[in-house]
Amino acid sequence: MINFDEANKKGKEAMDAMLKNYSEVAKGFQAIATEASEYSKKSFQDVSSYVEALSGVKSIETAFELQTNFLKSSYESFVAEATKMSEMYADLAKTVYKPYEAPIAKATGMSMPTAA
């Protein structure tokens, strides 16, 4: 016979785990959206400051130096942000995958690597 109490308990545990994971995934997407928004705001402020500084330049040499510095800092900022965002997406992927680790390991008979 089927033990309905046990089946009910297992179903509730599975639902609780799914809702917890859903909450963690939603938080991950929210963190990514917040980070992207903050980067966009900072980038816009940097461009505004650059244009303002460029408008007050008196010589071509100064304009060239200002432009070079702006491009260098923009590139470095972009690379740092891209690295940070890729790490956030990788963490999100691990969070999404986490509930499936145990069932996949059990089904395949393999142990799954754990995150350090």
Residue among 108, 113, 101 at smallest CA distance from 21: 101
Between 91 and 8, where is the model more confident? 91
Report the number of distinct structural domains present in the chain. Answer: 1
Asked if the structure places residue 116 within a domain, the reply is no
Asked if the structure places residue 24 within a domain, the reply is yes
Model pLDDT for residues 57-116, shown as the tens digit of each residue: 999 999 999 999 999 999 999 999 999 999 999 999 998 888 777 777 777 776 555 554
Asked if the structure places residue 62 within a domain, the reply is yes
Which uninterrupted H or E stretch holds 89? helix 60-108
pTM for the full predicted model = 0.72
Asked if the structure places residue 82 within a domain, the reply is yes
Model pLDDT for residues 38-52, shown as the tens digit of each residue: 999 999 999 999 999
